[in-house]
């Protein structure tokens, strides 16, 4: 059985009947849970052959562990008018039975073979690219990416300038609001209602500017990610 053994591995046995009589056969193994044999018994006509598939179930392969699995193919001349195969084997005498014993061998693919397969798979794309004419598409795509990057950088600088401008205006309006608040406190003849309206107007302007700055930054980030 050749690995890897991460999936079912199948090996075929060819049983041939060289005699001039029908022969019954049966396949046995020392590890019945590890193998699936189809067919595991039957009849072979004179001069004909039968293919028996032995399927090894997946397992964790250990190269240091020696295989102790064995198979035995038992045969007996088929009596005339066979009606019950089980009865044939139960009633068979020891001197009428013939058997062949086989020992299982597990092999992993050679590392050199793996390297040769990898080199062969790599050589095909190289030969195909050598036949192409004209410029490769990859550098063209890189230049487009560079152009887009420059545009995004310029947009970032422009948005940063807008944010700084809005910050300056926000600072100016905040200072103006503080000045108006001081004037309102010092103005004894001013009405409380007018003072409250003036404070609300001065406080709403910085908040509006912060919202506008957030919209610019969100627009820039969305464009950069896309």
How far from the centroid of its chain's Cα atoms is residue 188's Cα? 78
Residue 13's beta-bridge partner residues? 52
For residue 177 the two structure tokens come to 């609001």
CATH class of the domain whose range is 9-103: mainly beta
- In whole angstroms, give the CA distance from residue 1 to residue 13: 12
* Segment 16-28 mean pLDDT: 94
Is it the case that residue 59 has pLDDT exceeding 80?
A: yes
End-to-end CA distance of the chain: 53
Is 216 in contact with 162 (CB distance < 8 Å)? yes
Residue range 165-175, pLDDT digits in tens: 877 777 788 88
- In whole angstroms, give the CA distance from residue 185 to residue 19: 125
Higher-scoring residue by pLDDT: 126, 54? 54
Quick one: pLDDT at residue 10? 94
Number of CB atoms found within 10 A of residue 198's CB: 16
Residue range 180-189, pLDDT digits in tens: 877 766 665 5
Quick one: pLDDT at residue 151? 73
The domain limits of the chain are 9-103, 148-182
Phi, psi of 35 (to 5 degrees): -130, 150
CA distances from 87 to 23, 24, 67, 92 (A): 15, 12, 33, 8
Residues in the chain, overall count: 226
Is it the case that residue 200 has pLDDT exceeding 60?
A: no
């Amino acid at each position: 059985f050749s690995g890897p053994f991460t999936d079912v591995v199948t090996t075929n046995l060819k049983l041939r009947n060289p005699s001039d009589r029908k022969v019954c056969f049966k396949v046995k193994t020392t590890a019945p849970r590890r193998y699936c044999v189809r067919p595991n018994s039957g009849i072979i006509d004179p001069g004909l052959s039968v293919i028996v598939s032995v399927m090894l179930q997946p397992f964790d392969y250990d190269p240091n562990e020696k295989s102790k699995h064995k198979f035995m193919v038992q045969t007996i001349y088929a009596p005339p008018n066979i009606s019950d195969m089980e009865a044939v084997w139960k009633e068979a005498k020891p001197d009428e039975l013939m058997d062949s014993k086989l020992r299982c061998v597990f092999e992993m693919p050679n590392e050199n073979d793996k390297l040769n397969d990898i080199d062969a798979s790599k050589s095909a794309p190289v030969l195909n690219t050598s036949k192409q004419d004209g410029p490769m598409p990859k550098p063209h795509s890189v230049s487009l990416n560079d152009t887009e990057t420059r545009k995004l950088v310029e947009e970032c600088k422009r948005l940063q300038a807008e944010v700084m401008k809005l910050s300056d205006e926000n600072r100016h309006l905040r200072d103006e609001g503080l000045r108006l608040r001081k004037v309102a406190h010092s103005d004894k003849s001013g009405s409380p209602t007018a003072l409250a309206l003036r404070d609300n107007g001065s406080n709403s302007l910085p908040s509006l500017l912060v919202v506008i700055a957030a919209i610019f930054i969100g627009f820039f980030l969305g464009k950069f990610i896309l």
